Amino acid sequence: MSVLDSDTNANPGRLNSLFDPATTIITPDGSLRHQHDIYPLRHSSKLQPRCADEPIMKYAAAISRTAGHPLARRSIRQDATHFTLRTYHSSQKNSRSILEPRLEDHGRVIHDQYSVVRDHYDTPKHPVVLAHGLLGFDELRLAGRYFPGVQYWRGIREALTAQGVKVITATVPPSASIEERAEELAREIEAGARGKDVNIIAHSMGGLDSRYMISRLQPQKFKVLSLTTIATPHRGSAVADFCLDQIGAERLPQIYYTLNKLNIETGAFAQLTRKYMSETFNPNTPDLDGVRYFSYGASVKPSLWSVFRLSHRILAEAEGPNDGLVSVASSLWGGEAGYKGTLVGVSHLDLINWTNRLKWLAAEVTGNPRKFNAIAFYLDIADMLANEGL
């Protein structure tokens, strides 16, 4: 049994008790923990009302220029041409005041609305599909079925299920091409939805798979009502540009050959470049009428020991604010009304709850309040879908 016991699915009303700090549960890694070790204490107050999205259309030209521009062939230690790294390496107090105006130009800025789990969330009428990103999986078992597996959606599926949401977790080839991943995504949804309409919540590359499936494959055995993308590189990523540039065209075939010999698909890597997304994917993958498109972006100031330190710097120079792998500018999708906001202080892995436990522990030790909980974030997305009649 996972985080939640069996009668939870039949009784969504138990959600409040599940978030009681005195409750002991089995975590995704199989160990016993008190509830507050994984999720923050619940909070009775409502989130602040959603403000109207600020205009973002004035960034369309800048985004399109960025999308088609190759990464400058120079040392990343040099000054950025249009964005100074001092913004991201100053103190948190100073960087926040500098960072906010630029983020606000993209739309709603979200600082701490998802720091706590509310007492109540509305439940969408239709199933929710969770679509993972590059190198993703549903559950990874490195030591067989007798040992706990590693979940991509750490506790998120269980929290949504406890709220009464029918959840379908799709598994697609980790690094295959968008086309291959989209075909498998369609098969996974068809098997799980059984003819029902669905809402898709996609992290990172999962949003590109979903867009291709909706627009190009147009499955007939189920209907997609909405697609919510979270830090999806809709306009590619300068990190992909940088990696391919460093490898070089002459060495790339040999690397692909080696990876293929190891049964590692390579189709995804070249498709995540800004050139491919702007010149090939986006022009040939239009949004489908009748489908609602929503999106979120994230921005973080990486710590000294962050795994995203180099990638963040590359993106900051080329595209601006980012979560370590995907920029805010690239995350925008669904038009002015569809972009639901930028999560501040949240990394690409924070968005799928991989770092939640460690960061909440660090917050307790240092006394610095943690301002983001992925569980509260996904419950609020489900609440948003319900309020949209989906």
Please report which confidence band the pLDDT of residue 248 belongs to, taking 50, 70 and 90 as the band edges: confident
Residues 6 or more apart whose Cβ sits within 8 Å of residue 184 = 170, 171, 172, 173, 176
Whether the predicted pLDDT of 96 surpasses 70: no
| Burial (0-12, 13-18, 19+ Cβ within 10 Å), 215 | middle
| CATH, domain range 78-387 | 3.40.50.1820
Give the start-to-end residue ranges of the domains of the chain. Answer: 78-387
Burial class from Cβ neighbours inside 10 Å (0-12, 13-18, 19+) for residue 302 reads: buried
pLDDT in tens, 70-82: 443 333 333 333 3
Q: So what's the pLDDT on residue 263?
A: 66
Predicted confidence band of residue 225 (pLDDT cuts 50, 70, 90): very high
339-344/167-170 β-pairing: unpaired
Q: How far apart are CA 25 and CA 357, in angstroms?
A: 14
Query: What is the token pair recorded at 319?
Result: 């595209």
Contact 264, 308 (CB under 8 A): no
Q: Of 84 and 340, which is predicted with more confidence?
A: 340
Nearest-CA neighbor of 313 among 86, 58, 69? 86
pLDDT band for position 25 (cuts 50, 70, 90): very low
Residue type, 311: S
pLDDT for 383 equals: 98
Answer for the pair 228, 124: CB distance below 8 angstroms, yes or no: no
Residue 312 clears pLDDT 60, i.e. is over it: yes
Read off the pLDDT of residues 331-362 as tens digits, 9 standing for 90 and up: 999 999 999 999 999 999 899 985 665 555 55
Q: pLDDT value at position 26? A: 38
Token pair belonging to 146: 């007798």
CA separation for the pair 33, 169 (Å, rounded): 24
| Verdict on whether the full-model pTM lies above 0.85 | no
Confidence tier at 259 by pLDDT (50, 70, 90): low
User: Environment class of residue 385 by beta-carbon count within 10 Å: exposed (0-12), middle (13-18) or buried (19+)?
Assistant: buried
* 367 vs 132: CA distance, rounded Å: 33
Question: Tokens 């075939």 identify what position?
Answer: 253
- The CA distance from 205 to 136, in Å, is 9
The residue behind tokens 């993308």 is 229
Mean pLDDT of the chain: 75
Which amino acid makes up residue 378? Answer: Y
Q: How many CB atoms lie within 10 A of CB 135?
A: 12
Indicate if the pLDDT at residue 10 is higher than 80: no
Mean pLDDT of 248-276: 76
